[in-house]
Structure 1
Amino acid sequence: MSLLVMSLTGYAWAAMQGLVNGLTTTDVIDANQPADGARDILLVGMDSRTDAQGNPLPEDLLAQLRAGVADGEENTDTLIMVHIPNDGSKAVAISLPRDSYVTIPGFGKHKINSAYARAKAAERKKLQDEGETDAKSIEVQSNQAGAKTLIKTVEQLTGSTIDNYASVNLLGFSEITQAIGGVDVCLKENVNDPYSGAKFTKGQHTISGVEALEFVRQRHGLPRGDLDRVVRQQVFMAGMARKVLSAGTLADPGKLNGLTEAIKKSVVLNQGWDIIGFAQQMKGLTGGQLEFRTIPVVNMDYSTPEDGQAIQVDPDEIREFVQGLTAPAGSTQPAETGAAKSAITVDVRNGTGRAGLASTVLQSLTGKGFTGGQTSNTTSRKSTVVRYPAGGQEAAQQVADALGSGATIEPDPTVTSGHVVVLIGSDYSTTPSRVVQQAAAAQPTTQAPAPGSDEPITADGVTCVN
């Protein structure tokens, strides 16, 4: 028995070493981020037609996966932020619906699933305009730009700092589920969706491969649309975590080998991630110590100016929600996050050429409680940004939210402590209240309860879902 245990342990260790040596990594995380007593991981499901190494997937395989027609963009159809405390206490995975209408740094307000694609396309064009002709180099650099912008978008929305990044494509999801022997799921009613191909009877099923993709991708015909799809992804991830962390997978050389091979082909991680150390930390998590939640939403059927229907969210409410879930046990949360508005002095610089706009913007901000600083003109610019000094990120975010026009934030060591500087670009609307009025007037046709108020999904047992 001792020899058997030793051989299995040795095989698992060798498999882990082989996995680490064969992983595809990308330089998208700042290695100098401060430790805060926990690890925050951004998990991304890519609607990608390539493997982790950038090789195109065969057409017959894409047909089997029911990938649909490629539109030339790599949208991120699944976004989950996982918060794992260093002390081994309860971990939480927070889903961000793909159609959430948020501010994307450098691109204004759009659906969050377009952040990666927009930044990648912009970087690709920039490199080509600069004369870069190496297709592989362009692909690598543009993918890094896409991931970095997505990470910044999530950090700005949640108020958390992302420590690690992992993405998986369609092929990887399918093969990983097959490698572990499938995942148990349960449905409340029969489903038959021609769009995703999902066709299941009421009750419990063990699914893998193409069936698993169909299960997590369906959103048509569900009572709450994309929110029900998010719940499906959560129960599937919970089941997968339960299966992978079980002795049945980790102690089975065949399953472990298949799992590592599938991961190597289809998963991309940030450089410098100690995967073996992370795996050892995750071994201590049981089903009840991992729960899944969804950010609160305001309007499920929000009409955007240029992106069609989206999910309206409140950044302040989301940051409060996330901080409430991720705060260390026993800590107390202040009544208001960030600095008091009166302690933030705002300087406004007009880069649009429209006379008097800086004074108008400053008057609006002081009316919301901020302290007025100086106004002036600056060189012409397209995008509106809020610049902040060291330690002033939360203050800048409060000002950006108050502007209500898709302003992004960026650090600037030349800004005086206690101040933020607003640079008004041509994308700024002089009537930001139009969006607010539209949101207030819009009555959703199918208002669903905020998912954040539902009972959380855990990896302890199988939960039946829509």
Structure 2
Amino acid sequence: MTLRGCLRLFIVCVLLVAMTAVCAFGSFTLAQQTVVDLGASGFRVDDPVQTLRCFAMQQCADESANEAPPLLLTPLLTATSADSTFAAISTPAPQAAQMPTATPLPTVAALPTSLPPVDPRAITILLLGIDQRRAMQDDGPFRTDTMILLHVNPARRTVGVLSLPRDLWVRIPGFGEARINTANFKGDAAAYPGGGPALAMDTIYENFGLRVDKYLLVNFEVFITLVDTIAPDGVPVTVTEFIDDPHYPDEAEGYNPVRFEPGDYRMDAETLLQYARTRATQGGDFDRARRQQQVLDAGRAHVLSAGGIVTFISQAPYLWGQLQDNFSTNLELNDILSLGQLMGSIQPDDIRYSVISNLHVVPGTSDDGQQILIPNFDSIRDLVVRTFYPPDLSGAELQARLREEAAPIHVWNGTQVSNLARDTKHWLEAQGYSITDIDSEQNRYRRQTEIQVYGHYSWTAQALADSLGVPSDRILPSGDRKIARGVLILLGADAPAIISG
């Protein structure tokens, strides 16, 4: 295959990885830079944007033209049916005693908080992951194992990523109340217009008032093939807690026990998938959603490395042959090209990750005995606003919200550094915070500072994270009763540099 042909496949595969890995859109820009670098080294290589447009749309510009295509997003197109060649297994949710029963859910018109006006240039994409392996001869229909909303706002140059727990109890249009992960199954089984993905998109709008424009549905063969091919030596991942899952499902009907000790690893594709899918931690599905985001970001970083780019180009024909039957989408080529260009101008700090967690739901039991998560619509709508439409609050407005929450703030030293909790307390008080108390963790070998939230104190937790430079994925809901309520700052080895900087 010629270099031009490899580049064609490379760009398509990069865009597939970008959508699957949520935030790897920036690889498109890196591909352009790679072309520039190769050109400077004496290679004759076409611009990837023009190559792909020529290849897929038969719009071949003169080689002397240098103008990039205009940015044009085309949201609100009609969903098409998903490819019905996938299959999934639904892992049972852990049982719990004395849970509240499900209550009737409000309609979207009765939801207590309205979303901000939608920018017509913004686009919201639903990423659906289903558990299909070639070893399982199941023709579907299928539940979704993973549901992630991706919101891209070209005017604000921001991206929001929101993970939805699969046990979330919602109203599915035309089918009554059920877990959200059954929407794709019901849509495909009942020949809903647009198929399962369209019903999943309509379900999100019905319950949260959030219109979804596009979808991408993939199976796990995509993940495994990409990682095995692009990162044959594994992907670096840091495990922060002990995980022991004797009931992790295998590729058939049995179990394949998995176990992870805290530490730094290079994980192959199968191990990464196990790490991302297991729910055998205290936070269950919520922890799993965060690990999925961690794994996707680690994969993105590897693909964007110089070695990842070279491997991607060399393996492009093989990848395309392996992956083309393992995903379905209603994204048009113009959408993909425009998103790829746009993401090159979005900074990592403008990508916000969130998870609908136990701060936003109440565990319960449905009338037929299913263990479910009953949504707190006020809290979820607030999370959607903070993730997709982050408000530009003045200092006075932020302080007003912090006073309204009145969160007790606890600071614990998780390191061997003497007086770190005391010094951090003084540093935070100088920033205007009132600290309730300080203490030390029993195990004082924490690497990274983490913020745990006990109750509904999201504004305080985010403000503390911003002050300390702690990323959003290390703001964690907790129910371990280390404290009764409030916000707990667990200081890691990175804390001394933070408060001395």
Could you state the TM-score of these two structures normalised by the residue count of structure 2? 0.53
The one of 248, 272, 294 equivalent to 1:235 is: 294
Residue 42 of structure 1: CA displacement?
A: 0.7
> Which residue number in structure 1 is paired with residue 221 of structure 2?
171
SS in 2 for 1:156: helix
Deviations 1:177-235 (A, max 9, x none): 22331433211234332322433332122323211211111002x01111111111121
> Which residue number in structure 1 is paired with residue 243 of structure 2?
191
The one of 387, 399, 417 equivalent to 1:325 is: 387
Q: 1:79–1:192: structure 2 CA closer, same or farther, 3 Å change rule? A: same
Decide whether the 8 Å contact of 1:185 with 1:463 is kept in 2.
no
The one of 266, 275, 279 equivalent to 1:206 is: 266
Question: In 1, distance between residues paired with 2:470 and 2:303?
Answer: 11
Residue 286 of structure 1: CA displacement?
A: 4.2
> Which residue number in structure 1 is paired with residue 339 of structure 2?
278
Percent identity reads 24
Deviations 1:66-104 (A, max 9, x none): xxx969540111111111111362311001111101111
Given the alignment of the two structures, is residue 219 of structure 1 paired with residue 303 of structure 2, yes or no? Answer: no
Question: In 2, distance between residues paired with 1:261 and 1:452?
Answer: 45
Q: 1:15–1:262: structure 2 CA closer, same or farther, 3 Å change rule? A: farther
Structure 1 unmatched runs, 5+: 22-27, 50-56, 63-68, 124-141, 336-446
Given the alignment of the two structures, is residue 86 of structure 1 paired with residue 86 of structure 2, yes or no? Answer: no
Equivalent residue runs for 1:391-410 within 5 Å: none
Decide whether the 8 Å contact of 1:42 with 1:80 is kept in 2.
yes
> Which residue number in structure 1 is paired with residue 65 of structure 2?
none
The one of 22, 26, 30 equivalent to 2:78 is: 30
Decide whether the 8 Å contact of 2:286 with 2:356 is kept in 1.
no
Q: 1:8–1:185: structure 2 CA closer, same or farther, 3 Å change rule? A: farther
Q: 1:229–1:281: structure 2 CA closer, same or farther, 3 Å change rule? A: same
Question: In 1, distance between residues paired with 2:42 and 2:162?
Answer: 37
Deviations 1:349-384 (A, max 9, x none): xxxxxxxxxxxxxxxxxxxxxxxxxxxxxxxxxxxx
Deviations 1:414-455 (A, max 9, x none): xxxxxxxxxxxxxxxxxxxxxxxxxxxxxxxxx976796766
Is the deviation greater in 322-331 or in 94-103? 322-331
Residue 78 of structure 2 aligns with an amino acid whose one-letter code is D
The one of 179, 195, 202 equivalent to 1:152 is: 202
Residue 284 of structure 2 aligns with an amino acid whose one-letter code is G
Given the alignment of the two structures, is residue 10 of structure 1 paired with residue 46 of structure 2, yes or no? Answer: yes
Question: In 2, distance between residues paired with 1:240 and 1:214?
Answer: 15
Residue 151 of structure 1: CA displacement?
A: 0.5
Question: In 1, distance between residues paired with 2:188 and 2:220?
Answer: 19
Deviations 1:12-57 (A, max 9, x none): 5588569969xxxxxx9428xx9623121111111235xxxxxxx2
Question: In 2, distance between residues paired with 1:98 and 1:451?
Answer: 24
Deviations 1:317-368 (A, max 9, x none): 3223212332266489xx9xxxxxxxxxxxxxxxxxxxxxxxxxxxxxxxxx
* Higher-RCO chain (CA-CA 8 Å, sequence separation at least 6): 1
Could you state the TM-score of these two structures normalised by the residue count of structure 1? 0.56
Q: 1:331–1:177: structure 2 CA closer, same or farther, 3 Å change rule? A: same
Residue 237 of structure 2 aligns with an amino acid whose one-letter code is V
Equivalent residue runs for 1:96-107 within 5 Å: 96-107=164-175
Say what the alpha-carbon RMSD is for the aligned residues: 4.2
Decide whether the 8 Å contact of 2:364 with 2:373 is kept in 1.
yes
Q: 1:460–1:241: structure 2 CA closer, same or farther, 3 Å change rule? A: farther
Given the alignment of the two structures, is residue 293 of structure 1 paired with residue 293 of structure 2, yes or no? Answer: no
Question: In 2, distance between residues paired with 1:199 and 1:18?
Answer: 48
Question: In 1, distance between residues paired with 2:299 and 2:331?
Answer: 25
Decide whether the 8 Å contact of 1:249 with 1:256 is kept in 2.
no
> Which residue number in structure 2 is paired with residue 304 of structure 1?
366
Question: In 2, distance between residues paired with 1:294 and 1:316?
Answer: 15
> Which residue number in structure 1 is paired with residue 18 of structure 2?
none
> Which residue number in structure 1 is paired with residue 441 of structure 2?
none
The one of 372, 375, 379 equivalent to 1:313 is: 375
Residue 287 of structure 1: CA displacement?
A: 3.3
Q: 1:112–1:14: structure 2 CA closer, same or farther, 3 Å change rule? A: same
The one of 118, 125, 131 equivalent to 1:47 is: 131
Residues paired across the two proteins, number: 311
Residue 157 of structure 1 aligns with an amino acid whose one-letter code is N
SS in 2 for 1:75: coil
SS in 2 for 1:265: coil
Question: In 1, distance between residues paired with 2:472 and 2:384?
Answer: 25
Decide whether the 8 Å contact of 1:94 with 1:293 is kept in 2.
yes
Question: In 2, distance between residues paired with 1:13 and 1:160?
Answer: 31
> Which residue number in structure 2 is paired with residue 339 of structure 1?
none
Structure 2 unmatched runs, 5+: 1-36, 58-75, 80-117, 249-255, 398-452, 479-501
> Which residue number in structure 2 is paired with residue 74 of structure 1?
142
Question: In 2, distance between residues paired with 1:173 and 1:13?
Answer: 25
Decide whether the 8 Å contact of 1:187 with 1:464 is kept in 2.
no
Q: 1:460–1:16: structure 2 CA closer, same or farther, 3 Å change rule? A: farther
Q: 1:88–1:323: structure 2 CA closer, same or farther, 3 Å change rule? A: closer
Residue 169 of structure 1: CA displacement?
A: 0.3
Q: 1:117–1:243: structure 2 CA closer, same or farther, 3 Å change rule? A: same
Residue 124 of structure 2 aligns with an amino acid whose one-letter code is D
Q: 1:229–1:328: structure 2 CA closer, same or farther, 3 Å change rule? A: closer
Decide whether the 8 Å contact of 1:111 with 1:310 is kept in 2.
yes
